[in-house]
Amino acid sequence: MLALDNITLHRGRTRVLDGVSLSVAEGELVALIGANGAGKTTVLRTISGILSPTAGTVTFRGQQIQNADPDRIVRLGIAHCPEERKIWPEMTVLEHLELGAFIRSDRDVGRDMARIFDTFPVLKERREQLAGTLSGGQQQMLAIGRALMSRPVLVLFDEPSLGLAPIMVETIGTMIAGIREQGTTVLLVEQNASLALRLADRAYVLETGRVTLAGPAKEMIANPEVHRAYLGG
């Protein structure tokens, strides 16, 4: 479904990504792990059209999209749930979800809204509430719901557990697993490597802009180097 081939990206004279190649098959949940500053967020921003690579290709369902506008990429079926949620505090919960469906003109928007409210009952209870007054966990639910309202086939999650209490981290992990089980493909960037590898089919390790390790998530968990560097062993 998605393939990055030899992606290189510079910011000024700094090479942020250095020949990154990875793939995500339809129906998979693939994790991208690494330390702060490794380039994980940059990878997602490159896929979603926020950043343009210096070299290399991003291919989605047979189409090269590395120079496409973010609007077109959303219309192709890729949704980006960004780091730190990027919630507008003066907009209501309902307005955020409606914004997530801005590309759609079909008659199923209301049905999908109801499905989001079934998945996240607290959002239904607070649909008229300003997003800035929600808790961190509730804002993350809203960011996920907003992404799903575009009816994507691929969701890019960037650090969904960041800043959340442990019990909420587990809740968000369960929700992401459920999204995948319902048929949506997922690329998950997550500094909480334990959570990411528990959810994923396959994983990539990114270090200073380079993929240094790739394989099944179960093998990553058993890898002594990964365990020492990212799992606290």
Closest CA to 140 of 106, 180, 170, 182: 170
Whole-number mean pLDDT of the chain?
93
Alpha-carbon separation of residue 201 from 29, 91, 101, 128, 180 (angstroms): 6, 36, 29, 38, 11
Q: Please check whether residue 176 is in contact with residue 146, taking contact to mean a CB–CB distance below 8 angstroms.
A: no
Domain 2-230 has CATH 3.40.50.300: yes
Give CA torsion, residues 203, 20, 44, 69, to 10 deg: -140
Closest CA to 184 of 221, 219, 157: 157
Answer whether residue 164 shows pLDDT above 90: no
pLDDT in tens, 100-110: 998 888 888 88
pLDDT in tens, 202-225: 999 999 999 999 999 999 999 988
Beta bridge partners of 9: 17
Measured CA to CA, the distance from residue 24 to residue 33 in angstroms comes to 15
Mean pLDDT of 21-49: 96
| Alpha-helical segments (H) within the chain | 40-47, 70-76, 93-100, 109-119, 121-125, 136-148, 166-181, 193-199, 217-222, 224-230
Instruction: Copy the structure tokens of residue 205.
Output: 């390790």
Amino acid 98: pLDDT: 93
In sign, the C-alpha dihedral spanning 136, 141, 142, 144 is positive
**What contacts 224, CB < 8 A, 6 or more positions away?**
233
Percent residues over pLDDT 70 in the chain: 99
Closest CA to 140 of 109, 165, 106, 105: 165
Answer whether residue 111 shows pLDDT above 80: yes
Amino acid 171: pLDDT: 87
pTM, two decimals, is: 0.93
Domain ranges of the chain: 2-230
Answer whether residue 233 shows pLDDT above 70: no
Query: Which comes out higher in pLDDT, residue 231 or 135?
Result: 135
